Chains A and B, each alone.
Chain A
Amino acid sequence: MEASTERNPPPFPDPMDRETNSNKLEEESDDEGEDIFTGNIKSTSGTPVNQIPTDIFTEEGSGTTLQSHRVPQQDANGLRSEDDQDLFSEATVELSIDKVNNRERKEMTRPSPSVQDISFKSSATNKSLEEWEEEENKDKFELNIAVTNPEKVGDGMNAYMAYKVSTQTTLPMFKSTTFSVRRRFSDFLGLSEKLSEKHSHHGYIVPPPPEKSVVGMTKVKVGKEDHSSAEFVERRRAALERYLKRVVSHQTLLQDPDVREFLEKDELPRAVSTQALSGAGFLKMINKASDAVNKMTIKMNESDNWFEEKFQEVENEEQQLRKLHTVVDALVNHRKELCVNTAVFAKSMAMLGTSEDNTALSRALSQLAEVEDKMEHLHQEQACSDFFLFAELLADYIRLLGAVRNSFDHRMKTWQKWQDAQNTLQKKREVEAKLLWANKPDKLQQAKEEITEWEAKVTQYEGDFERICTTVRQEVLRFEKEKARDFKIHIIKYLESLLLSQQRIIKYWEAFLPEAKAIV
């Protein structure tokens, strides 16, 4: 993680209404300048935003614009007054920035090996964790992201879909407040690769990107302009949007310049290593396989039961969610089936209506056919919302839980590394002892040097391990909170969509009833 040292950390601000002396573990571990944000709050809220971002953001909204569940905004900010913010009403990510008041803590979590004092005690950790858990709502900055306008670029097998990634933000680290770029799917994958490389072995839960689909993309490339490829594109677009939102809602990841670059830079170098059938792709597969084997052979002495329990929980949850996802998927399919069958039935009813010779009954039957037709549309929309609000949510979380497990794995690896270093050190010491006995001064010198080297490594790895433990703990808690919130929001939205359907059903049948009663 690079520290952005070009910024001059402003003097410690007076925390507005926060405890000054809480031992909080900060989240942006690299940036000494996190105080920038607090310092700058006043200034940004003062500046009126002249640029009216309507042009960027009024394009086709996300396909799942339903009755939006507006997340209340804290900062009264010129942008909020825009009423065509439907794009963002579900999109707001509230960033909370911890106040760092304790320099010691800050330095500790810096990943560079210059660890000065490991005055780190587990009790202290627990205490600070609790406090960190309690802390909510700090100064919120806005960062709204939308992925829209999928457009096909190119032709034939070299074609690809380009998506417009629009950002609207008040964060000062970006060059402007509203901007957009065009990205393709491999760009997203490239970003996720980089983030994963950089952060996951520190224990951060890096959100996994949406899945690749050779079949789906091929259809699009070939140019089949049919319903299923449109669906595929929409599904991907929604997934990409959710992915980006998750990335930016993670403080550490947001600070990563790669993310910034992704959002801001006009042209990105093509991420070739993400291609499925490339050399890099194969290398990755091999690495994954070897990792899996290694995982099985590591036996860790778990000193802290918390990790063991959590890991179990995560695994259980993943299983449960998988089960739920299968069932929801079945529901989506049945609803689609119902949709088709209702349409067919409506037509058949209309035919029956025309052959019926009693005029009133004939009219009523045609009306019934119309009602069923409307029901078909309703079912179609319902199936969509089933899918996008519920099924995709579950699918995302199943993958995220996989990422959680990864961070646990990294912790194990770090532990392993530490243990290995300790063993090596032990061996070196034995060698030294032997040399002492055999009295070979020149080799002894070398041995002594090696020992010092390994002692340093042991200390470093131990520090790494402690750090990763903390990070994993933090991350898991953060993840759980976010998960609970996410589920609540989405399921409530889903229920609201169900409610809407029922209201419409009532409307349709109420319109039909007098027709039926009028049959003579």
Chain B
Amino acid sequence: GLVTLTRLACYLQSSVFTRHRKLLLQILLPHVTRLHQIRTPPVAAMMQEGLDDGPDFLSEEERGPRAVNVDLQTDATLQVDISDALSERDKVKFTVHTKTTLPNFKQNEFSVVRQHEEFIWLHDSFVENEEYAGYIIPPAPPRPDFDASREKLQKLGEGEGSMTKEEFTKMKQELEAEYLAIFKKTVAMHEVFLCRVAAHPVLRKDMNFHVFLEYNQDLSVRGKNKKEKLEDFFKNVVKSADGVLVAGVKDVDDFFEHEKTFLIEYHNRVKDASVKSDRMIRSHKSAADDINRIASTMYSIGTQDSTDMCKFFLKVSELFEKTRKIEARVAADEDLKLADLLKYYLRESQAAKDLLYRRGRALVDYENANKALDKARAKNKDVLQAETSQQLCCQKFEKISESAKQELIDFKTRRVAAFRKNLVELAELELKHAKGNLQLLQSCLGVLKGDT
């Protein structure tokens, strides 16, 4: 902990300070110390959240990564987590920490610093690797997006002169909290990706993965330039067109046919649910913000005078201040347990669909190879070549089919477990907050009624 802190402190000192960075750092420094993981059996549970010094029911809670695979618990041979993270002007630096007993690594415990692009590079290397065609590739973490938050921070800095000190402090606190929340989320998502890879029996052995974990220099992975992005775009277009064709081919195997229909429908519905949940949570946040403003306005009315009514207003403003914190927490928790869950499974179901696509593609290739072989035999020309080709296709197809089946079953298990965990936690948190709110309201009403 101390080592990390001093390292960070040095790092911070050396950076060039702009006004924004100053603000950002002011915000982060007190919190960075808390970005230590807490080791608990499943996979490393995350940072603690301490927004304010409120009463107990407002304090810390744990968060786990989204996809909880029950098998992950017992694996001590390779444990990966993100022990630290630092946000700079336009990038986030993650400290990837590995603990392993595997012989392939030089040490048993080590850390490297990685950026988002390097994660993407790793993910893409999996996708492009033919060997892994039969596996669900863990979805890549989304890009850290602090733009909105940064904008707000900038506006706040500019408008500093035009608002009262209390308002400024309050807004700054809110923005800090928001920034922190986004920050923690992105760290969690990057961690989940690594954990999934580490838990996968085949992927964990990947060379690139080992390099990623161990090589403590910059991987010199640059983001894709415009040309490459354009290529990607076209590739995707072709792929989706192809995907439609491939999906149209009815599968002989019932299991896969069922999975295909299921996944397509499920994916669409998860997408819908994810979008709608986002909207709902945003409204909730707005409502909480409004209560905040009501609290401040009532406070300023209450401080005008010392009449009975003013005292009354002050008490009510206090109450609203507290309840809005709880409401904000409710929205944040819903975001975490529900919206993020849905988003994650949106991405995973897409990855599962991709797997099915690859299998479908292999099947089509196999069938085409069969046809080619028949034709070659008929013409008695290039038969050997056709035979080898057909055999390759057959092998490839069967290999994919075999692993795909297991992968899809695992996916189901993981999904059910993750939903269960998150729904239970969601319900518990909602209850906790509602009870907290209730308590606040009851005590306040008691005081107010007693006064009158």
Contacts and interface: CB of A to CB of B under 8 A. Distances in A.
Nearest to B436: A502
B286 A495 contact: no
Contacts of A323: 297
Interface string B434-452: 1101100110110011001
Interface residues of A, number: 55
A60 B25 CA distance: 60
A352 B319 CA distance: 38
Interface stretch (A99-107, A112-120, A217-225, A504-512): A504-512
Nearest to B277: A345
Given A337-B283, A351-B269, A495 B427 contact: no
Contact of A338 (B284, B298, B304): B284
B287 interface: yes
A357 B438 CA distance: 37
B412 interface: yes
A509 B433 CA distance: 11
A322 to B, nearest CB: 10
Contacts of B428: 513
A161 B20 CA distance: 59
Interface residues of B, number: 56
B412 to A, nearest CB: 7
A516 B280 contact: no
A355 B266 contact: yes
A36 interface: no
B304 A316 contact: yes
A321 B293 CA distance: 13
B301 interface: yes
A356 B420 CA distance: 13
A358 interface: yes
Interface stretch (A199-207, A404-412, A458-466, A482-490): A482-490
A289 interface: no
B291 interface: yes
Contacts of B24: none
A348 B445 contact: no
Contacts, number: 155
A374 to B, nearest CB: 12
A320 B441 contact: no
Contacts of A491: 312, 316, 448
A41 interface: no
Contacts of B297: 320, 323-324, 327
Interface string A319-342: 011011001101100110110011
Interface string A190-227: 00000000000000000000000000000000000000
A517 B262 contact: no
Contact of A334 (B272, B290, B319): B290
B333 to A, nearest CB: 12
A136 B434 CA distance: 41
Secondary structure dominating the interface of B: helix
B307 A331 contact: no
B311 to A, nearest CB: 10
A324 B296 CA distance: 9
A498 interface: yes
A330 B309 CA distance: 24
Given A334-B287, A335-B287, A338-B280, A488 B420 contact: no
B273 A331 contact: no
Interface in B245-280: 262, 265-266, 269-270, 272-273, 276-277, 279-280
Interface of B: 262, 265-266, 269-270, 272-273, 276-277, 279-280, 282-284, 286-287, 290-291, 293-294, 297-298, 300-301, 304-305, 307-309, 312-313, 316, 319, 323, 412, 416, 419-420, 423-424, 426-428, 430-431, 434-435, 437-438, 441-442, 444-445, 448-449, 452
24 contacts: A320-B300, A323-B297, A327-B294, A330-B290, A334-B283, A338-B280, A338-B283, A338-B286, A338-B287, A341-B276, A357-B262, A358-B412, A361-B419, A483-B309, A488-B309, A498-B323, A502-B438, A502-B441, A506-B434, A509-B427, A509-B430, A513-B424, A516-B424, A519-B416
Q: Which 3 A-B pairs have the closest CB atoms?
A: A338-B283, A331-B290, A519-B420
Interface of A: 313, 316-317, 320-321, 323-324, 327-328, 330-331, 334-335, 337-338, 341-342, 344-345, 348-349, 351-352, 355-358, 360-361, 364-365, 368, 480, 483-484, 487-488, 491-492, 495-496, 498-499, 502-503, 505-506, 509-510, 512-513, 516-517, 519-520
